[in-house]
Amino acid sequence: MWGGRFAEGPSAVMRAINASIPFDKQMWRQDIAGSKAHATMLGAQGIVEADDVATILTGLDAVAADYAADGVPDDLALEDIHMLTEARLADKIGPVAGRLHTARSRNDQVATDFRLWVRDAIDQTDAALGGLQDALIARADEHAASVMPGFTHLQSAQPVTLGHHLMAYHDMIARDRGRFRDARARLNKSPLGSAALAGTGFPIDRDATAAALGFDGPTTNSLDAVSDRDFAIEYLTAAAQCALHLSRLAEEFVLWASQPFGFASLSDQWSTGSSIMPQKRNPDAAELVRGHAGRITGCLVSLMVTMKGLPLAYSKDMQDDKPPVFEAHGLLELSVAAMTGMIDSATFRTDRMRQVAETGFSTATDLADWLVREAGVPFREAHHITGRAVAHAESLKVRLDALPLGALREIDERIDRRVFDVLAVDASVASRTSFGGTAPSRVREAVAAARAAREAER
Ligand code: ARG
């Protein structure tokens, strides 16, 4: 490509360190689309003759058909997908291929291709996350009234409903999708036509190429456009945040599927065996989702460190932008699909959840609240009275709602038998009707709202 200037070819190591074709070939569709938009514009502006443009467009389609049929070869001598495609085009149509690169540089070309690739990745991820939300909504609806222990510090705190717990993850995923969409909106400007760094003297039409590629318009500064990778960093930021959420959900499954918890069992499809311990059913997929969050976060850090301190405009360091984005996207896609499959097919052991919810004096707050509400006791005093009731129940090794009324009245005589209405776990969860609370009625409302939001997207 630059043969005019050099007498000797590059050393083998130079070739190896320089080549990005092993990974940037993943962008071949975007590269073809960008080239077609550019060629069409060159024709419309009279920069390249119409006949030549027609030849170039046919040739690009033929190159694309070869890629689709045979894959893209790792031709290190041709360095990257942009040069490979141009060389293949020349094989097909001869020297006319050389007109395609008029008023263009690989710098604006790669910036354009990569934006298109990340935009596609965001759209795929968004759709997959919508599917995960659907799975969470369906299981939450099924378990709107299933009682489970709610934890703080992983200590039994107050009973909650499984539906409420699952909808917590639905809400996290909703925010993740919002972040991906925000990133997409800012990304959607076309760098094409910024050329190497300074723009071009040819009478190009940047609005036309932007529109042809589905961008909202052209970027406004050529130096920024060829060296901006914010869109990739924003994608990775959203991906890392999403992966963190998935890792928390995965961790719940690791805990729930363990024998001491026994809250859920994963279907055979989502369990693995042990080569030595025949009884084992391991939650490997959940553990790997938990692990992948670390790798995805690493991808974000990798690109941020690559970009740090780079002066304007393009520097070859920026070629290292793609592997972390491609890697993170692949890991996230797998993680979302695995969590969706686990949610869809898990069996929740609601009997066991209820049994655990009934231990640990989980309705102690309900007793304190009852004293405040029914007997006008200040909350701090009610907290103290309840603490004594818990200590008494603990010494008798019984649940709070199994304490005889007489024993409760000995602790505080303002207590009467109506208190038993709030000491059972069902009564406890049913009473938490504040907006956003765990009461089954509220969970059903949240499920309905979430369904309506999904419906509105379609
Ligand atoms: N393969 C390169 C990349 O991914 C394309 C841009 C090369 N530009 C250049 N001036 N060498 O960044």
Q: What are the tens digits of pLDDT across the range 195-253? A: 999 999 999 999 999 999 999 999 999 999 999 999 999 999 999 999 999 999 999 99
Contact between 425 and 439 under an 8 Å Cβ cutoff? The reply is: no
Mutation test of ligand 1: which of 23, 72, 80, 83 has the most ligand atoms closer than 8 Å to its C-beta?
Answer: 80
Residue 275: pLDDT over 70: yes
How many A from CA of 111 to the centre of ligand 1? Answer: 9
Contact between 42 and 99 under an 8 Å Cβ cutoff? The reply is: yes
Whether 38 is a known active-site residue: answer no
Could you tell me if the CB of 109 is within 6 A of ligand 1? Answer: no
| d(C-alpha 305, C-alpha 297), whole Å | 12
What is the pLDDT confidence band of residue 393, given thresholds at 50, 70 and 90? very high
Could you tell me if the CB of 110 is within 6 A of ligand 1? Answer: yes
How many A from CA of 316 to the centre of ligand 1? Answer: 6
Q: Please name the residue whose Cα sits nearest to atom 1 of ligand 1.
A: 80
Residue of 258, 267, 274, 441 marked catalytic? 274
pLDDT recorded at residue 311: 98
How many A from CA of 86 to the centre of ligand 1? Answer: 14
pLDDT recorded at residue 1: 64
Whether 101 is a known active-site residue: answer no
Residue of 153, 275, 395, 434 marked catalytic? 153
Inter-helix orientation angle 50-70/81-93, to 10°: 120
pTM for this one?
0.94
| d(C-alpha 370, C-alpha 416), whole Å | 10
The DSSP output letter for 271 is -
From residue 360, alpha-carbon distances to 96, 223, 393, 407, 423 in Å are: 79, 63, 10, 19, 12
Q: Which atom of ligand 1 is nearest to the CA of 322?
A: 4
How many A from CA of 258 to the centre of ligand 1? Answer: 50
Residue 458: pLDDT over 90: no
Q: In the numeric block, which tokens belong to residue 155?
A: 């200590």
Residue 300: pLDDT over 90: yes
Q: Please name the residue whose Cα sits nearest to atom 7 of ligand 1.
A: 106
Mutation test of ligand 1: which of 85, 86, 110 has the most ligand atoms closer than 8 Å to its C-beta?
Answer: 110
| d(C-alpha 166, C-alpha 264), whole Å | 13
Q: What is the pLDDT of residues 359-368, one digit of tens each?
A: 889 899 999 9
Residue type, 163: G
